[in-house]
Structure 1
Amino acid sequence: MERAKLLESISNTVSDYQIGAKPAPEHVNKWVNQFKSDEQIPLLREMDHVLKSTYFSKSNVTEFLEDRLTDSELTSANPYEFWKNANFLNIQKNGNSQHEMLKIFDECLKRKFSININACGSPAGDFIYLDDVIFSGYRVINDLKTWVENDAPAKAVARVIATIIHANGKWQIGNQLNKAIKASGKKIVIKYHSKKTIDNRKQYKRGVLWPTILPDDPNLLKYLKSLSKYPFEPSVVSHKSLDI
């Protein structure tokens, strides 16, 4: 009974993950069957919990982007002029997430202001780097570092917009890009906008996906004893996220 409920719950949460048929419980069951039988229920429980806490559906992403259209931190008093002048970067070297985010944002712009991304852009406008989620930050670093060195103007504001930004990734971006900006001699300011920031910096112990307790499993306890260099330290439970 519990297994069936978990399979159904997980498939419902990720119902829009792929275009076409909704992922069925049978598909989730096929995935979990690759693990040992005694591991499957605990794994399904954790997967169900994590996805409910972290999965962003397409409607969630669309709502986030629509809210940015009139976000005063971005657009000040004239949203239409801000986006009409904005320069949308399509420079992601690895992955397809930026392309997909640009497509969704383009639809939002058309509905709200009757303009599209291709009609936007001005030397006076800010530069927009869209992505779905920022984890380590290294993809953003690689993309924007090349842009700073080659294509960025002498003075600019670049805005990184993502549904979720991990705090350590944000720190890495700032640290690496500030070096590149300084070396280029340009005056470029990087700003960040997200719906949520997950603080995964170890010293703050707020990471959502770090365990707070561990099950009393003999194999796990044996493994923990082997971690002499990096011993396990339970995280402090917190639902606090940083505002950007």
Structure 2
Amino acid sequence: MPVAAIAAESEDDIADSIADKIKDYREGEIDVPTGEHVRRWAGQFDPLVQRSILVETRHFLEKRYISKGIAENFISGLSRNSNLAGRNPATFWAGVGFLRLQERSQSQCDMLAILSDVLCNAFGVTCARQTAANGVYVYIDDAIFSGRQVLDDLRRWINGWDISDCTVHVICIGSHKSGRWYAARELGRIAGLRQIDIRWWFDAEIEDWRKEGNGEKVDVLWPTYPPGKWCLSKNKGVYQYVPSDQYVNNWWTKCPDDAKKFNPRPPFNGERNLGFESEAGRGILEQAFLQRGAYICSLSENPNKNMHPLGYHKLNGPGCGTLLTTYRNCPNNAPLVLWWGDQDASYPLNQWYPLMPRRTRTANRVDDLPEENAF
């Protein structure tokens, strides 16, 4: 949107447009988001940056929020893709084995339900079969983040059932580049020995390699140093960075390994930045999400070791920082300020009001789809 047009908008208008963008988020499970809901969430940030946060939030949701319609269109188009299904997709899909391997996450069942509807309407085929008549299996999910989910699922299946001589199509709507690379590398070590061909299909790839020279391309939150100052260390005689935000400072003190792995992003010199409305707006968003995320981390006396201000991550640092969310749930890899908290719960969850309250994982709903064959 042109800068002049954005400047002419009121904050209420921007909040209303954000609510409209995520109107199908967890539809039927929670109240439909409204402009008032968005304004209440934004009101928890410093008043001086609330407008920038609203502008940048709308921008990243427009680019990275996967609505149910987007998921359905991608899966529908892929079902007829000749590179996947060949010249006779009806015959191809009739012989495929559809893997249901996730033990706790509901995302695979949800995506299989969409795929089953698409295939049933187009070819009279469902996703009930788990064995493959044509040596082809499909593993589907909404997104790949760290790559651990798909890696653990397929490795357990391959080793547990002694799988060999087949093709596995991994289908997801969004894929983080480093996560897919990691999963592909580790699975390749197994698949190559068993003559398993693993192929990857995704609608959007998220650039998340935090490396020098890649700052303007990285599509996840990667903060520069937060506001603060450098001071001379009395112990080592070297300059150290001291953040001015008390919660960031407390987080660094409590989690020294995170502080050591905090590799700041070099600011981008251009006026615009891929994935963000502006470089200035990106900087404000990153700092605000980092600081408020550090506040959330401070509320727990014994936080999960993978919990970081910008989202859950097994690696030390500020967190995953993904801004990819879907209509069915907000991943815990996303910044805490987006999903953490529950106003109807007791302390500490009632200390933060989330924009996109997260559904926690439960046992996989195996009854969502009839089971014709087990392995």
TM-score by length of 1: 0.84
2-structure distance, mates of 1:171, 1:181: 15
1-structure distance, mates of 2:106, 2:115: 14
Structure 2 vs 1, CA of residues 25 and 238 (structure 1 numbering), >3 Å: closer, same or farther? closer
2-structure distance, mates of 1:223, 1:172: 36
Instruction: Provide Cα deviations, 1:133-192, integer angstroms capped at 9, x if missing partner.
Output: 11111111111110111125221111110111111111101121123335xx42211100
1-structure distance, mates of 2:105, 2:181: 22
1:184-195 equivalences under 5 Å are 185-195=193-203
Instruction: Provide Cα deviations, 1:69-105, integer angstroms capped at 9, x if missing partner.
Output: 1101101111011111111111113421111001111
Gaps of 5+ in 2: 1-8, 231-239, 242-258, 276-375
2-structure distance, mates of 1:195, 1:42: 29
Residue in structure 2 matching 1:37, options 14, 39, 47:
47
1-structure distance, mates of 2:206, 2:53: 22
- The yes-or-no answer on 1:221 pairing with 2:236 is no
- The yes-or-no answer on 1:230 pairing with 2:236 is no
Given that 1:86 and 1:122 are in contact with CA atoms closer than 8 Å, whether structure 2 keeps it comes out as yes
Superposed structure 1 runs of 4+ greater than 6 Å apart: none
- The yes-or-no answer on 1:107 pairing with 2:117 is yes
Query: Which protein shows a greater Rg?
Result: 2
SS at match of 1:67: helix
Deviates more, 1:27-36 or 1:133-142: 27-36
Which residue is 1:25 aligned to? 35
Shift of 1:119: 5.2
SS at match of 2:226: helix
Q: Which amino acid aligns with 1:209?
A: V
- The yes-or-no answer on 1:131 pairing with 2:141 is yes
Deviates more, 1:83-92 or 1:173-182: 173-182
Q: Which amino acid aligns with 1:230?
A: N
SS at match of 1:93: coil
Structure 2 vs 1, CA of residues 110 and 69 (structure 1 numbering), >3 Å: closer, same or farther? same
1-structure distance, mates of 2:185, 2:229: 35
Which residue is 1:83 aligned to? 93
- The yes-or-no answer on 1:16 pairing with 2:15 is no
Identity of aligned residues (%): 26
Which residue is 1:156 aligned to? 166
Shift of 1:32: 2.2
Shift of 1:6: 1.5
Structure 2 vs 1, CA of residues 94 and 39 (structure 1 numbering), >3 Å: closer, same or farther? farther
- The yes-or-no answer on 1:168 pairing with 2:178 is yes
Instruction: Provide Cα deviations, 1:10-55, integer angstroms capped at 9, x if missing partner.
Output: 1011011122353111121222233333342222222111101111
Q: Which amino acid aligns with 1:220?
A: P
Given that 1:97 and 1:131 are in contact with CA atoms closer than 8 Å, whether structure 2 keeps it comes out as yes
Deviates more, 1:220-229 or 1:6-15: 220-229
2-structure distance, mates of 1:122, 1:40: 53
Q: Which has the higher helix share?
A: 1
The structure with higher relative contact order (CA 8 Å, sep 6+) is 2
Which residue is 1:208 aligned to? 219
Given that 2:143 and 2:175 are in contact with CA atoms closer than 8 Å, whether structure 1 keeps it comes out as yes
TM-score by length of 2: 0.56
2-structure distance, mates of 1:156, 1:94: 26
2-structure distance, mates of 1:119, 1:63: 23
Which residue is 2:11 aligned to? 3
Given that 1:128 and 1:158 are in contact with CA atoms closer than 8 Å, whether structure 2 keeps it comes out as yes
Q: Which amino acid aligns with 2:15?
A: L
SS at match of 2:200: strand
State how many pairs are aligned: 232
Q: Which amino acid aligns with 2:266?
A: E
| TM-align CA RMSD | 2.6
1-structure distance, mates of 2:58, 2:110: 26
2-structure distance, mates of 1:33, 1:221: 21
Which residue is 2:153 aligned to? 143
